[in-house]
Chain A
Amino acid sequence: MIQTTTHDAGITIVRPGVERLTAANAKTFKDDVSQLIKSGASHLVIDLGGVSFVDSSGLGALVGIYKLIGLRGDLAVSGLQADVAQMFRICRMDGVFRIFASVEQACENLAGAL
């Protein structure tokens, strides 16, 4: 389900590979990213540029990933479309995640902290 690429600085870019991150696929998404983290990926950018809608289950999966990374690495999200950004605001996720307009900006920020 997820698509991954690796940035020069060792940052893993994760794209969910779905247009809607919802209850139908949130668990698979979280399991896939969790496996990635357990395999050693510690600095992640989750690029939501291709996602037009996220429901509470999708947000829950993102929070679970955030907590799994914890102190072992870093996480940012990028490319939020308008409706997804609004969902983040409603659920106060904009106070939890570091959010960047583009995946490039997110990688630059994470790389600077490495």
Chain B
Amino acid sequence: MKRRTFHMPNDLRHVDRTVLSMKACVEPSLGASALLRFEISVTEALVNLVKHATTSDAAAPIDIELHDADNAVCVEICDPVGAAPFDVRDHAPSQNAADPLAENGRGLGLIVHCTDHIAYGPKADRMCLSLTISKSGD
């Protein structure tokens, strides 16, 4: 298993650069469809944190771990310091239920739609979101 860590400044301007760096790491091991699902879900998860997770230390980076295992790629994204727990699974509308003419509110549904497994729980002193993208079926 390959493991990489990333520390993204808590700022929207850094999301794309971070996602592209992560994508480059998994590009050799994911098919085109899985790679897009990876890119969408990680982008939406990071944007959601930067836009909505209130932190007591805005200067602290968002910590991310990328695990590239035999059968799947897993991304662990830790909530910013002091953020209230937020489990996307409890708030994500299904893609079919979403209003196609809404200008926002698609992100959480996309995270759920594009991942094969989601977990959310404590890790050390933080809560972490874990997104798994399977390598099979692509």
Chain A residues engaging chain B, CB cutoff 8 angstroms = 20, 22-24, 53, 55-57, 59-61, 63-64, 66-67, 82-83, 86-87, 90-93, 95-96
Residues of B within 8 A of A83 (CB): 36, 39
Q: Which of A23, A53, A92, A96 contacts B12 (CB 8 A)?
A: A23
Closest B residue to A91 by CB, please name it.
Answer: B106
Stretch of B59-67, B78-86, B94-102 contacting A (4+ beta carbons < 8 Å): B94-102
Cβ of B47 and Cβ of A63 under 8 Å apart? no
Tell me, rounded to whole Å, the shortest Cβ–Cβ distance linking A77 to chain B.
14
Q: State how many angstroms separate the Cβ of B135 from the closest Cβ of chain A.
A: 18
Query: Closest residue to B14 on the A side, CB-wise?
Result: A24
Contact of A63 with B101 in the complex, beta carbons under 8 Å: yes
Given contacts A22-B15, A23-B12, contact A91 B98 (CB under 8 A): yes
A31 CA to B65 CA in the complex, in Å?
A: 35
Interface core residue of A53, A56, A59, A64 (most chain B CB under 10 Å): A56
Select which of B36, B95, B101, B113 is within 8 A of A96 by beta carbon.
B101
B100 touches A93 (CB 8 A): yes
- Give the residue name and chain of the A residue nearest to B43 (CB): A55
| Pairs A-B, 5 closest by C-beta atoms | A56-B106, A60-B103, A23-B47, A56-B107, A64-B103
Interface pair B12/A24, CB less than 8 Å apart: yes
